[in-house]
Amino acid sequence: MRIDLHTHSTASDGTDTPAELVRNAAAAGLDVVALTDHDTTRGYAEAIAALPEGLTLVTGAELSCRIDGVSMHLLAYLFDPEEPELLAERELVRDDRVPRARGMVAKLQALGVPVTWEQVARIAGDGSVGRPHVATALVELGVVPTVSDAFTEDWLADGGQAYMEKHETDPFEAIRLVKGAGGVTVFAHPGADKRGRTVPEAAIAKMAAAGLDGIEVDHMDHDPETRDRLRGLAADLGLLVTGSSDYHGSRKTVTLGEFRTDPEVYGEITRRATGAFPVPGTGGA
């Protein structure tokens, strides 16, 4: 079984539509793929309608959180997308991305970059708008060669010259909300130190005590030493270990299924979840 539990579509900052994503996942030989767009579930319907036979969809989201001033991402799986408390928090975070992206455009203009909100809005379409869309505008303008090159102190990295914070949820509150909606939580790329400060292990231990289910260990942003350390931490804290691509289509170099989750861990995630069931493909549209 080939299982990839972290991907993005055009519902947030990926470049495949949800339909393209599930077709590409099947073509990549995956048996299970999770759709985890940033702070939104709006890609689900299209992904389910297009889901090829033999591929199972795990519905999810990647929730933007912050603890002690450090931004972090919490993957949430198989929660009830209609549960009102979690839905309200997701909408709050997603909607606050718009004034925040406009603010980053204004900062870039003040730095002399001729980017406009209209350009960023066109790139984002109806997806949850984020820094990768602003970064794509910078690539289009020839300011930086690639999306990754926009994530520096000069531009959009955490604390960078054109960076702006957005509303982000306290992770303990997010874990409580996801559990309340029947979902399972996995701390995404906890050792991705190139993106900025990371969350200390003591705080991860507190999250484990508060009901965090797992941590993402096999991820392109973790070097081998970081993976070993995180695997040890997961064993100490009794957390599940996942691995996933964090696929963003052409906005990142990683391919679907490049990192994967053990079938036993996947089984445990599905056993713990009560908010939604994995969706088996029926052939698609």
* Residues that bind Zn ion in the complex, under the rule CB under 5 A: 8, 13
Which residues, in sequence order, are CB contacts of 3 under 8 Å at separation 6+? 30, 31, 32, 33, 260, 261, 262, 263, 266
Closest CA relative to residue 105, chosen from 164, 41, 25, 159: 164
Beta bridge partners of 34: 58
Token pair 């070097």: residue? 223
Site for ligand AMP in 52-81 (CB under 6 A): 64
151 binds ligand AMP (CB under 6 A): yes
109 binds ligand AMP (CB under 6 A): no
Is the CB of residue 81 less than 8 Å from the CB of residue 87?
Answer: yes
Nearer to Zn ion, 8 or 179 (CB): 8
Nearer to Zn ion, 194 or 235 (CB): 194
38 binds ligand AMP (CB under 6 A): yes
Q: Return the residue of 105, 147, 215, 256 that touches ligand AMP, per CB under 6 A.
A: 147
Pairing of strands 32-35, 3-4: parallel
Nearer to ligand AMP, 71 or 274 (CB): 71
130 binds ligand AMP (CB under 6 A): yes
CA distance 213 to 210: 9
DSSP 52: P
Q: Return the residue of 132, 171, 183, 281 that touches ligand AMP, per CB under 6 A.
A: 132
Task: Kindly tell me the sign of the dihedral angle through the C-alpha atoms of 233, 239, 241, 247.
Answer: negative
Three state DSSP letters for 117-132: HHHHHHHHCCCCCCHH
The radius of gyration of the chain from alpha carbons, rounded to an integer in Å, stands at: 18
Is the CB of residue 130 less than 8 Å from the CB of residue 101?
Answer: yes
147 binds, among ligand AMP, Zn ion, Fe ion, none (CB under 5 to 8 A by kind): ligand AMP
- Kindly state the number of chain residues that form the binding site for ligand AMP, as judged by CB under 6 A: 10
User: Which spans of this chain sit near Fe ion (rule: CB under 5 A)?
Assistant: 62, 73, 188, 246
Nearer to Zn ion, 7 or 80 (CB): 7
CB of 132 to Zn ion, least distance (A): 6
188 binds, among Fe ion, ligand AMP, Zn ion, none (CB under 5 to 8 A by kind): Fe ion
78 binds, among ligand AMP, Zn ion, Fe ion, none (CB under 5 to 8 A by kind): none
Is the CB of residue 169 less than 8 Å from the CB of residue 163?
Answer: no
Instruction: Select from 24-32, 85-93, 106-114, 146-154 the region that touches ligand AMP (CB under 6 A).
Output: 146-154
Residues that bind ligand AMP (CB under 6 A): 13, 38, 64, 130-132, 147-148, 151, 195
